[in-house]
Amino acid sequence: MNKASKTGVDITQAKRLLEENHVVAIPTETVYGLAGNALDIKAVATIFSVKKRPSFDPLIVHTHSIEALGEFVADIPEQAQLLAKAFWPGPLTLLLEKKEIIPDLVTSGLNRVAVRIPNHPLTLALLQSLSFPLAAPSANPFGYISPTTAQHVTDQLGDQVAYILDGGASNIGVESTIIGWENGKATVMRVGGLSIEAIEAIIGPVHVQAVSSSNPAAPGMLKSHYAPRIPMRAGNIETLLQTYAGKKIAVLSFQQAYPAAYKNYILSPEGNVTEAAQHLFAAMRVLDTSEADIILTEYVPAVGLGLAINDRLKRACAEEV
């Protein structure tokens, strides 16, 4: 649409626009999504076009109930059923065999589709009102920092989105955990907003797959992703400050302040990885709008959502500077 995107809480308007094959930004507990009719190839193509997302990177399909999966998923393994009952609605995505009703463009030609039930009242109400599921990757230009507020979507996609359903700030702040089954074994394809510990408490040990750099088997597996426009490096911040002395440096730290930095954003003064995850993408945006020459960051403890934070930081720093 040519006119500026509208923002609000009007589910009826969002429903009408989606039924007319427009794309709408939706809130979830993880990040905001750019949604379109998952069963309509034109709507799906619009998502790829607006995001400038390569067609080999598949999308996640969102629905409102486990029962609704039967329309577009061929089989739900026993472990998948256990996880769905334990964590849906929530930050869990399951990679399951698809039915032909799901266009190949959604899955990048693969025979499995990524599905989840988001835990946000506005989006659940919207999904329940629709006769089709929604394909919805993050509502940002491909490869850039994911949005966790309606304003982030407005700032990035502007008038390319017909409507932005404003559900407030995402309360988890990193994308969902994706699980598939490889040779019958549960495999975490992407670490995210549901911890490995929580998953293993339900189905036992799982394999955690390394990030793919091309031809991903599931959404969000590309090596370079979630990146700010200002170059970003991760490591020991004290050492990096010396390495880049003379440059205007912004620091994204876990819980420590660095007075030598031109700008410093602390993710969690209390050292809480869940709080750090909530602030991660917003912090990256703040520093990316500064006049810094480089952003320096550090990895957080690899427990709970710390794994997901470190995954996002690693990929945000994937390009050499």
List pLDDT tens digits, range 74-107.
999 999 999 999 999 999 999 999 999 999 999 9
What is the mean predicted confidence (pLDDT) over 221-228?
Answer: 66
Residue 252, in any domain of the structure? yes
Nearest to 91 by CA among 208, 194, 220, 206: 194
Residue 5 scores a pLDDT above 70:
no
List pLDDT tens digits, range 142-159.
889 999 999 999 999 988
Residue 1 scores a pLDDT above 70:
no
- β-pairing, 92-97 with 163-165? unpaired
Residue 133 scores a pLDDT above 90:
yes
176 assigned ligand-binding residue: yes
Residue 214, in any domain of the structure? no
Residue 223, in any domain of the structure? no
- Asked if 288 and 228 touch (Cβ cutoff 8 Å), the reply is yes
Q: How far apart are CA 159 and CA 23, in angstroms?
A: 11
Q: Which residues contact 95 (CB under 8 A, 6 or more apart)?
A: 112, 113, 114, 178, 179, 180, 181, 189, 217, 218
Which CATH number fits the domain that encloses residue 263?
Answer: 3.40.50.11030
Q: How far apart are CA 58 and CA 253, in angstroms?
A: 32
What is residue 213's predicted lDDT score, i.e. its pLDDT?
43
Q: How far apart are CA 319 and CA 64, in angstroms?
A: 38
Same domain, 62 and 159: yes
53 assigned ligand-binding residue: yes
The structural domain count of the chain equals 2
What is residue 321's predicted lDDT score, i.e. its pLDDT?
37
Same domain, 204 and 266: no
Residue 215, in any domain of the structure? no
Residue 226 scores a pLDDT above 80:
no
DSSP label of 38: T
Residue 28: CA count within 13 A, CB half-sphere: 36
Residue 2 scores a pLDDT above 50:
no
Residue 196, in any domain of the structure? yes
Same domain, 200 and 239: no
285 assigned ligand-binding residue: no
Same domain, 185 and 277: no
190 assigned ligand-binding residue: yes
- Asked if 174 and 305 touch (Cβ cutoff 8 Å), the reply is yes
List pLDDT tens digits, range 15-71.
999 999 999 999 999 999 999 999 999 999 999 999 988 878 899 999 999 999 999
* Percent of the chain topping pLDDT 70: 93
Q: How far apart are CA 46 and CA 25, in angstroms?
A: 13
Q: Higher-confidence residue: 221 or 228? A: 228
114 assigned ligand-binding residue: no
Same domain, 164 and 310: no
Q: Which residues contact 299 (CB under 8 A, 6 or more apart)?
A: 234, 309, 310, 313, 314
* Percent of the chain topping pLDDT 90: 85
Same domain, 111 and 200: yes
Residue 308, in any domain of the structure? yes
7 assigned ligand-binding residue: no
30 assigned ligand-binding residue: yes
Residue 216 scores a pLDDT above 60:
no
Residue 216, in any domain of the structure? no
Same domain, 59 and 157: yes
Q: How far apart are CA 238 and CA 260, in angstroms?
A: 10
Same domain, 114 and 159: yes
Q: Is the dihedral of CA 113, 114, 119, 121 positive or negative?
A: negative
Same domain, 50 and 109: yes
Same domain, 30 and 64: yes
> Which burial class, exposed, middle or buried, applies to 116 when counting CB atoms under 10 A from its CB (0-12, 13-18, 19+)?
buried
Same domain, 56 and 123: yes
Average pLDDT of the chain is: 92
Which CATH number fits the domain that encloses residue 10?
Answer: 3.90.870.10
Same domain, 23 and 153: yes
Residue 31, in any domain of the structure? yes
152 assigned ligand-binding residue: no
What is residue 183's predicted lDDT score, i.e. its pLDDT?
86
Residue ranges making up the domain that contains 115: 6-208
116 assigned ligand-binding residue: yes
What is residue 115's predicted lDDT score, i.e. its pLDDT?
98
Q: Examine residue 216 and say whether the peptide bond preceding it is cis (omega within 30 degrees of 0).
A: no
